[in-house]
Structures are given as structure tokens and as C-alpha cells.
């Protein structure tokens, strides 16, 4: 039974229940509830703060029962021009259109802006998603950055030492390495501020001609084709979870017992 306040220890909020069951992130759960897509015991729920008991109440999204299931960990090569959202009122292509067959509750782990291509992770495991995106984990994200001209030495040193953006935001030091061509660099950052690399380069007076994420932690995009999707291997999942604690924790070991799920298909190209 849904209640306005907590009346038993087994109760959690509707949004929390969806998150704990791996159906959606907290933010996505609130969106689903606001849209009237969530029901409890057959009745629509519009308050994400309403309380229920997952052991007794029947929770559903668009009529589909929400139950604990296998954890899913996917990698996508997001094309440029595709946006990281479920739907777009302007009709632009979204990353969800590239998923071969959406497993229940998967959500993107972080975001890539419309003009950035490359590695994007998906999961229905909220703890995994939060651990990868949490700034405290210092998970490195590596990008191939193509600028309109080569970086000056002093600008490269400023990026590497931890620059301060024009709006006053202080950034952690970033690793920067010359790539294969003049004006092309590999940059690794350990925080996920909005459009961080673009803002860094623009503040230093450069135009970003192309930006592609090629790695997260020790997981690399590799030869995955643009618009394609594959499951992470068990080793890749463990690599990301173990990096957070600099060694195998009890939590990381628990991932060995989880089944990694994929449809066995690939998404279509998204240009």
C-alpha cells in the first residue's frame, strides 16, 4: 500500500524502489513518475516521494512489472550528432535509438554532448553507474581532441597543472599527450564537468574541430564501429569497479557473480 509517510521499516520511496530494482536511475525514475508511467498495485503514482514496500506492492512501468533482474553493462560508439537522452522534442536522433533491444531500465553512465563522439556506457546497475561517474573515484576519461592549431607549450602546461576556467572553476590536473597529427592530442581528465574539455580549449583561445572519447578507466573504445553496441566483458566490468578502490573490494568481487547481458546484436549506425 502506498503511503504519504513512512509507516514501516520495509518501505522505501517509489523513486528509490525503481533505483534499487535496477529499473532506472533516481533522476530517470522521477521523470517516469512525473510522466504518469509508473503504477503501484495498478494505480498511477505521481509523487516520487510516496512510500511503498517492494516486497508486498506491485510496481510497474507502462504496465510492465518491475522485478530484480540480471545486471546489464553495455558499450556504445556514439556518433557525432546524436544526443544523450531518451527522447527529443525537436526530433533529433538519440542514443536510445541505437540500442538493439533496450534491456529494462538501462541508462547512460554520464553523457556525451551532441558534437562529441565515442565511448558511452549503459547499465541498469545504479551502483555501478554512480561509482564510475562519482568524482571521488577519479576514474580517468580519455579523449582524442583535434584543435584548429597546435597547443602552445605554456597552454599545455596550464592544462597539465590544473587550470582555472574563466568562470572561476578550478580543475584537476589533466594528462595531455601529443597524438598522431599536429593539433591532435590525447587528454585524460578525472572529473566530469559539463563540456569540460571544450571549455578548457575555448578559454585558452582554441577551436575544437573534433572530440572523441576513446577510454574510460582501463576500458577502451577500440575498433567498435560507429553506432555499434556490445556488452562489456566481465573483466571490463571488474576493471572499472576495482579502479575505484585501487584493488579488489567485496563489492567488486560481487560483480563476478552477476550475469552480463547483451542482446547479441548491434545497434544501427546513427548518422
- Alpha-carbon distance of 7 to 4, in angstroms, equals 9
Tell me which residue of 263, 264, 262, 255 sits closest to 234, measured CA to CA: 255
pLDDT tens column, 43-66: 999 999 999 988 788 999 998 888
What local confidence, expressed as pLDDT, does residue 202 receive? 97
Q: Flag whether pLDDT at 271 surpasses 60.
A: no
Catalytic residues: 113
Angle at 145 between CA 227 and CA 205, to 5 degrees: 135
Cell 498495485 sits on residue: 41
Percent of the chain surpassing pLDDT 90 = 55
- Alpha-carbon distance of 190 to 209, in angstroms, equals 22
Whole-number mean pLDDT of the chain?
Answer: 85
User: Domains along the chain?
Assistant: 12-65 (3.10.290.10), 73-135+219-257 (3.30.70.580), 140-216 (3.30.70.1560)
Amino acid at each position: 500500500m502506498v503511503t504519504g509517510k513512512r509507516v514501516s521499516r520495509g518501505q522505501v520511496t517509489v523513486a528509490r524502489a525503481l533505483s534499487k530494482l535496477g529499473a532506472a536511475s533516481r533522476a530517470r525514475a522521477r521523470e517516469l513518475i512525473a510522466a504518469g508511467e509508473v503504477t503501484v498495485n495498478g494505480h498511477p503514482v505521481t509523487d516520487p516521494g510516496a512510500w511503498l514496500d517492494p516486497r508486498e506492492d506491485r510496481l510497474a512501468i507502462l504496465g510492465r512489472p518491475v522485478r530484480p533482474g540480471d545486471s546489464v553493462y553495455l558499450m556504445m560508439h556514439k556518433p557525432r550528432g546524436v544526443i544523450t537522452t531518451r527522447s527529443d522534442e525537436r526530433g533529433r536522433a538519440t542514443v536510445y535509438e541505437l540500442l538493439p533491444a533496450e534491456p529494462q531500465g538501462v541508462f547512460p553512465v554520464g553523457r556525451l554532448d551532441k558534437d562529441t563522439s565515442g565511448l558511452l556506457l549503459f547499465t541498469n546497475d545504479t551502483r555501478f553507474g554512480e561509482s564510475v561517474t562519482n568524482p571521488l573515484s577519479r576514474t580517468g576519461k580519455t579523449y582524442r581532441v583535434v584543435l584548429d592549431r597546435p597547443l602552445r607549450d605554456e597552454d599545455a602546461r596550464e592544462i597539465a597543472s590544473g587550470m582555472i576556467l574563466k568562470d572561476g572553476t578550478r580543475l584537476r590536473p589533466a594528462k595531455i599527450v601529443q597524438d598522431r597529427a599536429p593539433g591532435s592530442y590525447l587528454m585524460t581528465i578525472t572529473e566530469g564537468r559539463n563540456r569540460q574539455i571544450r571549455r578548457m580549449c575555448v578559454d585558452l583561445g582554441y577551436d575544437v574541430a573534433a572530440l572523441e572519447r576513446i577510454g574510460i578507466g582501463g576500458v577502451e573504445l577500440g575498433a567498435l564501429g560507429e553506432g555499434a553496441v556490445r556488452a562489456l566483458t566481465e573483466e571490463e566490468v571488474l576493471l572499472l569497479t576495482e579502479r575505484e578502490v585501487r584493488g579488489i573490494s567485496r563489492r567488486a568481487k560481487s560483480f563476478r557473480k552477476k550475469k552480463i547481458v547483451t542482446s547479441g546484436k548491434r545497434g544501427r549506425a546513427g548518422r
